[in-house]
Structure 1
Amino acid sequence: MAKPAAAEIVVPGPDGERAVRVSSPDRVIYEATESTPEVTKLMVAEYFASVGDGLMRALRERPTALERWTKGVRPGMRLATGAQDRDADAFYQKRVPKGAPDYLETATITFPSGRTADEICPTELAVPIWCAHMGTLTFHPWPVRRSDVDRPDELRIDLDPQPGTSFADVVRVAGVAKELLDDLGLVGFPKTSGNRGIHVFARIRPDWEFVDVRHAAIAFGRELEKRDQGVTTAWWKEERGERIFVDYNQNSRDRTIASAYSLRPIPGAPVSTPMTWDEIASVTDPRVHNLFTVPERMADGDPWAAIDDVANDLAPLLDLWEEHPVELNYPPDYPKMPGEPPRVQPSKKVAEHWDAEGNRVEN
């Protein structure tokens, strides 16, 4: 059987129209479900084009890692998260792939290890369309612009439901988060994660380093814990219980969250969907916001259209941090950080094996 001809999508470019080739356009990326038809590779590219205004608002000038599902999404498929997953079905692309078009621009970022990489930095809509051609479903932009890759311009609050909690619990906590933002004089924008969680993004002045923004997120989480007993900032899963985890480490260097309007690798092609606060308060099933339904929302405008109009001041949250400047654990691939607690599960910790600074004492 002859190989299907490539398709072409034409989108606006900086100097006129830009044509983007999409190979294997009929490849099935999402199989049909009871509520959604199958989704082909071409449909993914067309979806990104249809939400281009909002998608580029999330990606423009940001170093961006790609989550590539080149074989599509099927039950049992796995996403590689480290070198141990070499036989996984999908992977994160943190460096510019070979064969990138000449209009694709880059930004140089530094990992916690000190290594650097040139990462895709979308500047026009043709770039995410080309990424769809490469099997990308989810975009993971850094919270920085390439003009200053070491000072975030965004605070990200990740409300992550733990086992035993429901989406209704996340919605409730999001409402409390909105009240806290209001009390602090901050403006945040909520979206569904595309799975079970809710994200709140707040643009900030790029005046602080990653460690400061992470401390602000910790302070936010701790204040949220005071206001709702169903919230936790506990890093160790065994301590979280049936509560909503505020994942403060999503504000660490090289930690990213699925962008607004990204697809998620879950049956039904759900979308991480920007909403107003009134909308988020009434969501009962985030799966209804998917590749087929989200473009219709854009006809009435992007709920995040004004996100760049406000550059919040982190000072109120950093003042809260200074009231209780006790460090929490970093991700395991980080080097040991100043003031960090011991990197051992609390249930396995033997006190005499650790000094006051959290360093292991060798016998």
Structure 2
Amino acid sequence: MGGSRLPDMASERITLTVPGPHGEREVGLSSPNRVLWPELGITKRELAEYAIAVSGPFLAANGNRPVSLERFPETIDGESFFSKNPPKGTPDYVEAVTVRYNSGRRHPQLVLTEPAAIVWAIQMNTIVFHPWASLAGDTDNPVELRIDLDPQPGTGFSEAVPAAHALREVLREGGLEAWVKTSGNRGIHVFCPIEPTHEFLDVRHAVIAAARELERRMPDKVTTNWWKEERGDRIFVDFNQANRDRTMAGAYSPRALPTATVSTPVGWDELDGLDPAAFTVRSIPERLASVGDPWAGLLKAPGKIDTLLQWWERDLADGLGELPFPPDFPKMPGEPPRVQPSRKNEANWA
């Protein structure tokens, strides 16, 4: 873990010595004693020290790719905003890559490649890190197929576990090996490493195909219904997390929740009976030291989405078309009207 030295206490600023691939870097940390998680008393300095402790597996999962920073100028209970572009004064060890957004606009986005860059992000009041599914070298083609199992009201993590196991089997039948992590809240994130040969829309269609297959097998337990009024108390298979510039909290990223939980990679054999609340900013360094990183080597054996795309085409032939996109997206080809079913006008629906 990096060291620190204390200057004039009136300035309330310390300097952390952060080891990295290019040697040690000195990273300034202002307001180190500012409490970020009021219920636990976790400070900005403690978060920075957490980042240094987990920087290896954190960068393996989230580094070398576009990342959005969710920044909280005060505490987790205060206002927050997303930061994608390098702000003025960004140090040279924090990289950037030009990405294309759904609007067609292109703009540089932050890329973290070493521990000092994570600490700099925390100095900029970042709590939650949201990495893209593609790498900086080819931002248009994802290296991960991602599925978010999102419990609806009346369900929780324990209800998502059977869905995750069943989804793993579906994905295996589709030629993919799945890895799993807690969301840091009530949900479960399932990732499959894939060859970067298809752009985001294709990967979204592969996700929808897998989600529909899971829904067929567990119709009372999971749903692909985008509109909340149609989901009931089932687990929502969030296919829209596969879209370009749609991200979820990265592996080992803290969450802005009162208990300082962390989105944590786990082994499949850990899921049953797991308490995701046990994985926090304060507990994860010890977990890594004792059990290691369950996601080590995640990208070493990528699969292909060809079979899932065949399922997508099969479903199209059977009359199952495109599903709704997020409201901030431009109108997409084949997309149904963006109106919740209870408000649709039947005369105009076709």
- Work out whether the TM-score is over 0.5: yes
Structure 2 counterpart of 1:272: 263
Structure 1 counterpart of 2:73: 70
Residue of 250, 263, 272 corresponding to 2:254? 263
* Contact kept in structure 2, 1:175 and 1:281, CA below 8 Å: no
1:128 alignment partner AA = I
* Contact kept in structure 1, 2:158 and 2:273, CA below 8 Å: no
Give the RMSD, CA atoms, in angstroms.
1.4
Aligned to 1:221, the other structure's residue is in SS state helix
Shift of 1:306: 1.9
Aligned residues: 337
Check if 1:25 corresponds to 2:32.
Answer: yes
* Contact kept in structure 2, 1:64 and 1:142, CA below 8 Å: yes
Residue of 341, 347, 359 corresponding to 2:342? 347
Aligned to 1:258, the other structure's residue is in SS state coil
Aligned to 1:172, the other structure's residue is in SS state helix
Distance 1:208 1:179 in 2: 23
Structure 2 counterpart of 1:13: 20
Write the deviation string for residues 237-276 of structure 1: whole angstroms up to 9, x where unpaired.
1111110001101011110111000000001210001100
Residue of 138, 162, 166 corresponding to 1:176? 166
Report the TM-score, using the length of structure 2 for normalisation: 0.93
Shift of 1:281: 2.4
Identity of aligned residues (%): 50
Distance 1:176 1:232 in 2: 13
Shift of 1:202: 1.1
Structure 1 counterpart of 2:63: 60
Write the deviation string for residues 78-97 of structure 1: whole angstroms up to 9, x where unpaired.
xxxxxxxxxxx101112112
1:151/1:348 CA distance change after superposition, 3 Å: same
* Contact kept in structure 1, 2:174 and 2:305, CA below 8 Å: no
Write the deviation string for residues 72-128 of structure 1: whole angstroms up to 9, x where unpaired.
123xx4xxxxxxxxxxx1011121122211211101111111122211111111111
Structure 2 counterpart of 1:164: 154
* Contact kept in structure 1, 2:156 and 2:187, CA below 8 Å: no
* Contact kept in structure 2, 1:94 and 1:117, CA below 8 Å: no
- How do 1:124-203 residues align onto structure 2 when only pairs under 5 Å count? 124-203=114-193
* Contact kept in structure 1, 2:66 and 2:135, CA below 8 Å: yes
Residue of 311, 318, 327 corresponding to 2:322? 327
Shift of 1:4: 4.8
1:352 alignment partner AA = A
Structure 2 counterpart of 1:301: 292
* Contact kept in structure 2, 1:95 and 1:120, CA below 8 Å: yes
* Contact kept in structure 2, 1:204 and 1:314, CA below 8 Å: yes
2:342 alignment partner AA = S
Aligned to 1:282, the other structure's residue is in SS state coil
Distance 2:65 2:123 in 1: 20
* Contact kept in structure 2, 1:192 and 1:274, CA below 8 Å: yes
2:153 alignment partner AA = P
Residue of 322, 338, 341 corresponding to 2:333? 338
Shift of 1:2: 5.9
Aligned to 1:146, the other structure's residue is in SS state coil
Structure 1 counterpart of 2:303: 312
Distance 1:167 1:3 in 2: 45
Q: Does 113-122 or 204-213 show the bigger shift?
A: 113-122
Unmatched 5+ residue regions in structure 2?
A: 1-7
* Contact kept in structure 1, 2:175 and 2:305, CA below 8 Å: no
Report the TM-score, using the length of structure 1 for normalisation: 0.90
Aligned to 1:71, the other structure's residue is in SS state coil
Structure 1 counterpart of 2:237: 246
Structure 2 counterpart of 1:218: 208
Write the deviation string for residues 32-89 of structure 1: whole angstroms up to 9, x where unpaired.
3xxxx41000001110111111100112210000000120123xx4xxxxxxxxxxx1
* Contact kept in structure 2, 1:231 and 1:243, CA below 8 Å: yes
* Contact kept in structure 2, 1:66 and 1:140, CA below 8 Å: yes
Distance 2:214 2:11 in 1: 53
Residue of 58, 81, 96 corresponding to 1:91? 81
Q: Does 174-183 or 325-334 show the bigger shift?
A: 174-183
Distance 1:251 1:142 in 2: 10
Residue of 229, 237, 254 corresponding to 2:228? 237
Check if 1:113 corresponds to 2:103.
Answer: yes
Write the deviation string for residues 186-223 of structure 1: whole angstroms up to 9, x where unpaired.
11110000001000111110000111000011011101
